[in-house]
Structure 1
Amino acid sequence: MRQRLTAVGAALLAVAASVLISARPADAAVGLHIDGESIVEANGQPFIMRGVNHPHVWYQGETAAFSDIKALGANTLRVVLGSGKRWGPSTDVADVVARCKQNRLICVLEVHDTTGYGEEGAAASLDEAVDYWISQKSALAGQESYIVINIGNEPIGNTDAAQWTAATTAAIQRMRQNGFEHLLMVDAPNWGQDWQYVMRDNAQTVLDADSLHNTVLSIHMYAVFSTAASIVNYLDYFHARGWPLVIGEFGWHFADGEVDHETILSEANARGLGYLGWSWSGNTDPILDMATDFDPARLTTWGERIFHGANGIAATAREATVFGGQPTTPPTTPPTTPPTTPPSGGACTATYRVIGEWPGGFQADISVTAGPAAISGWTVTWTYADGQTVSQAWNATVTSNGAQVTARNVAYNGSLGAGASTSFGLLGTTTGGTGSPALSCAAA
């Protein structure tokens, strides 16, 4: 739930040099985990969250929501729980996890009692949230492939937001000391919106606190993010440093201003970022409801938009492979056609590699490398010869004209130093093979 901000910063963020965090080795992963900026499953398959929030703690009888949300295409459900400090306590965690698994949904479990701590007098501290997770450990152990633990919702308000860094660091360390190996999610302060940039400026400290390097940062986007520039600049900052990030909550129309939800959706899709919209139903401000009275047959304008609109859930969600979803990483047998790499020496070169294939579909990764001089933009073109078509892409703007495909850099990956590389990915369908085409790369 949202509380109106008392102050909102409007400065644009500057993008600086990249500082990459180390990922937990894949062979040490017990479930969902971080690989660079991405969330991947235990088997190495990328997983991009596409889902919504469900206010379970206040509407425990609305259990049909799990199947209703899945039927609309979601692959993830963020479930609101209570620690007992303000709501709950939620003692049905095992049942919640079972319902998520039954409906083939990755479950993000969050303690809501921490909302606005420091400004909201009744709020629980992150330390109290960890106490709750420890009390529920028996229901969580062994579920690392199916759940993410969002330690505390919007854990600091606008009062002394700087306390977020120490409190979040301590919470992560306590979770690990108590044997939790799950992927952890941590929300920003300022009621989740980070308008004072505390999370932005201290993210590396928090990520380094995790002995398993298995924490993802979460930003909540409401009235602070009312313009495309505010959204793009914030996301650029995290990408430039290689930090894992999801949009753990966002709305559309909101009391203090309009949320630029169209840019949130399009940027998340282009960048391969997970998003979880707020919320399914039951809001005191019904403009944020996606379904009227929890009825999936009565979707609101917001519900229709997030589930069925451009860059929405139905168009972009892929079910986790742990539930049988199609693979999106290399198959057990290598592609029959080797990668193609144009001769070096030009302004830029590009390499196309098929990294996953299944009946009627495939995933490809394309690397772009600058030549002996820096470039400020790039365009990669190719022509498919085996009946392939592109259905989805990230980290590039991809257009098709029949078998001819053109991929152009997006705002954050066009400038490359001499010899530097970037990459983009795509999903496609095929009526024939998945052979790698010859690529042409032109630099701006």
Structure 2
Amino acid sequence: MKKSISITLCAALLALSGCSQNTSSDALSSDISSAASESQSTASQEESSGSSLQNGNGGFKVEGTKLLDANGKEFIMRGINHAHTWYLDEDTTAIKAIAETGSNVVRVVCSDGEQWTKDTENMLETVINLCIDNEMIAVVEVHDATGKDDKTALDKATDYWIEMKNALIGKEQYVILNIANEWTGGWNGELWRDGYTESIPKLREAGIKNTILVDAAGWGQYAKSIGDYGKEVFDSDPDKNTMFAVHMYGTAGKNSSVIEKNLKYAIDNGLCVIVGEFGYTHTDGDVDEAFIMKYCQENGIGYIGWSWKGNSGGVEYLDIANSWDGSVLSADWGENLVNGENGIKQTSVKCSVFTKE
């Protein structure tokens, strides 16, 4: 989403509509000691299952179409986007209020300084710690690259995260890195692929081990880019720890068949996907938000609604709350997202890193 919050979309003008590992062993042996050794090894693997060590990075790990947390438990996102970089003074109030909706994740709008005031390392650490203190996972994203078909915008976002890596390293169990919000406005899957297959290895080389989240091309709504090139983007990650997001407004989220088709582009390719943004309507048409939530719930897919508060430029209707403290939710959008059937309160499960189990 853009600040005018035409935000992410402009997609109104777009013409097109739009995780699990199996291990097996054939090794059979009549040798009793070999069989015992193999049995002991299997038992040891089962015993370690569910520990953070199995995820290698000590944090989240993509396994096929699923996202596992640091304890090896499946994590399904249910949350809300928060416009941090535009409303710094509201962070404490907003994040506490978002937690009170039952959300298990906050997607945090950040800036690399290209378009808005640059988030410093200290600012990032502060907002991330607010999310952790309120027992929610933080998904951080650079918004300055929104809708830009210029590869330098993605390069700048990538360089920014490398500069800010100390705010991410050591917090792999709490923070997911959404490199750039809706990079590429055009429906150009090749450009999208080429940008991310270059960006992701740079981040890994810099020592960033957090799970990476990549928005689809076309203002986040061109889900076919994931179907066509998502596997190449995933394979470019040396850690094989990248997932994808489709943003659903009047183009990608207009009806049940389009919604299902757009999410299956990833799923049918064995990739992990979430709905990283959606509303109940937008400048490019109505959105079937009830089906988005229903389909995600039935299929174990995460969703994050846009956005808590602060929308402007004629799209104020996308505010989930009428006040920063969440005392009144918007009738047409917030009430349905938070309290509706398949909404956040009914379906959200806190990440196990915050539980005592």
TM-score range, shorter chain: 0.7 to 0.9
Letter in 1 for 2:350: E
Conservation of the 8 A alpha-carbon contact between 2:178 and 2:213: yes
Conservation of the 8 A alpha-carbon contact between 1:117 and 1:124: no
What CA deviation, in whole Å up to 9, does each residue of 1:398-418 have, x standing for no partner? xxxxxxxxxxxxxxxxxxxxx
Following superposition, the deviation at residue 87 of structure 1 comes to 1.2
Following superposition, the deviation at residue 127 of structure 1 comes to 1.0
What CA distance in whole angstroms lies between the structure 2 residues aligned with 1:240 and 1:29? 26
Conservation of the 8 A alpha-carbon contact between 1:52 and 1:276: yes
Conservation of the 8 A alpha-carbon contact between 1:73 and 1:313: yes
Equivalent residue number for residue 400 of structure 1: none
Equivalent residue number for residue 319 of structure 1: 350
Conservation of the 8 A alpha-carbon contact between 1:81 and 1:88: no
Conservation of the 8 A alpha-carbon contact between 1:49 and 1:274: yes
Conservation of the 8 A alpha-carbon contact between 1:282 and 1:293: no
Conservation of the 8 A alpha-carbon contact between 1:279 and 1:288: yes
- From 314, 322, 335, the equivalent of 1:292 is 322
- From 306, 317, 338, the equivalent of 1:307 is 338
Matches within 5 A, 1:59-74: 59-63=87-91, 64-74=93-103
Equivalent residue number for residue 259 of structure 2: 231
- From 204, 209, 216, the equivalent of 2:236 is 209
Letter in 2 for 1:276: I
TM-score normalised by structure 2 residue count: 0.84
- From 305, 309, 314, the equivalent of 1:277 is 305
Unaligned runs of 5+ in 2: 2-7, 24-51
User: Whose RCO is larger (CA < 8 A, sep 6+)?
Assistant: 2
Following superposition, the deviation at residue 239 of structure 1 comes to 2.0
Conservation of the 8 A alpha-carbon contact between 2:256 and 2:291: yes
Report the RMSD for the aligned CA atoms in angstroms: 2.1
- From 249, 274, 280, the equivalent of 1:222 is 249
What CA distance in whole angstroms lies between the structure 1 residues aligned with 2:235 and 2:296? 25
Letter in 1 for 2:16: G
Letter in 1 for 2:228: D
Q: 1:25 to 1:162 in 2, by over 3 A?
A: farther
Letter in 1 for 2:327: A
Equivalent residue number for residue 365 of structure 1: none
Unaligned runs of 5+ in 1: 12-18, 328-444
Equivalent residue number for residue 44 of structure 2: none
Matches within 5 A, 1:93-132: 93-118=124-149, 125-132=153-160
Q: 1:124 to 1:99 in 2, by over 3 A?
A: farther
Equivalent residue number for residue 105 of structure 2: 76
TM-score normalised by structure 1 residue count: 0.68
Letter in 1 for 2:112: S
Following superposition, the deviation at residue 124 of structure 1 comes to 5.9
What CA deviation, in whole Å up to 9, does each residue of 1:233-267 have, x standing for no partner? 22233222211101111111112210111110000
Q: 1:118 to 1:10 in 2, by over 3 A?
A: closer
What CA deviation, in whole Å up to 9, does each residue of 1:298-355 have, x standing for no partner? 2102111100000000001011111116x5xxxxxxxxxxxxxxxxxxxxxxxxxxxx
Equivalent residue number for residue 16 of structure 2: 9
Q: 1:89 to 1:124 in 2, by over 3 A?
A: farther
Equivalent residue number for residue 153 of structure 1: 181
- From 142, 151, 174, the equivalent of 2:202 is 174
Following superposition, the deviation at residue 27 of structure 1 comes to 5.0
Q: 1:264 to 1:27 in 2, by over 3 A?
A: closer
Conservation of the 8 A alpha-carbon contact between 1:111 and 1:150: yes
Letter in 2 for 1:79: V
1:260 aligns with 2:288: yes
Percent identity of equivalent pairs: 36
1:251 aligns with 2:279: yes
What CA deviation, in whole Å up to 9, does each residue of 1:187-223 have, x standing for no partner? 111011016x222210110000011010011110111
Question: In structure 2, the residue corresponding to 1:220 is in which secondary structure?
Answer: strand
Higher share of residues assigned strand = 1
Equivalent residue number for residue 85 of structure 2: 57
What CA distance in whole angstroms lies between the structure 2 residues aligned with 1:93 and 1:81? 8
1:200 aligns with 2:206: no
What CA distance in whole angstroms lies between the structure 1 residues aligned with 2:80 and 2:298? 19
Query: Which of structure 1's runs of 4+ aligned residues deviate more than 6 A?
Result: 19-25
Return the index of the structure with the highest Cα Rg.
1
What CA deviation, in whole Å up to 9, does each residue of 1:160-184 have, x standing for no partner? 5531101011111110111111000
What CA distance in whole angstroms lies between the structure 1 residues aligned with 2:231 and 2:54? 21
Question: In structure 2, the residue corresponding to 1:62 is in which secondary structure?
Answer: helix
